[in-house]
Amino acid sequence: MKEKIIQSIVYEFESDQQIPEAEKKLLDLAELAVNNSYAPYSEFRVGAAALLSTGEVVTGSNQENASYPIGICAERVTLSAVSATHPGKKIIALAITFRGKKKLSEPVSPCGLCRQTLLEYEQRQESPIKIILRGEGGKVLMIKTVKDLLPLYFDGEAL
């Protein structure tokens, strides 16, 4: 048996005051998108904002329904909106934030389904997507590539 070490690089900032202005603005747009969330069942509202290679920003928020927990996460809403309205445009960065029943200052990372979907978008555009995560204040996490969110990823090469 051989032990294999797999590492991911995550940059941690004590607050959004320590990050570049462009990333802070993207987080602020993601926070505004939280207001468009429809989450009457979980009361966990998520907003995302994608910065495109054109400089345009596309936002999205999570959408639940009565057959909860089936719903659409903010990340996938945003990715779908980018594909539908800006086909072929590269996503440079995706900022994600939330508001829940409990106030959490720690960032929350995307679910497994969103991680896989993000990875496929990154692979399809053949360039990294920076992920920026913030809770309700406090720390900000920055990840330079989706592959660092999903180190043992599954992709189309296996099919």
Q: Which two tokens stand for residue 79?
A: 């990715």
How far apart are the C-alpha atoms of 28 and 120, rounded to whole Å?
Answer: 26
Catalytic hit among 23, 64, 75, 122:
75
Amino acid, single-letter form, for residue 6: I
Largest CA distance in the chain: 51
**Is 157 one of the catalytic residues?**
no
How far is 75 from 83, CA to CA, in rounded Å? 12
Active site residues: 75
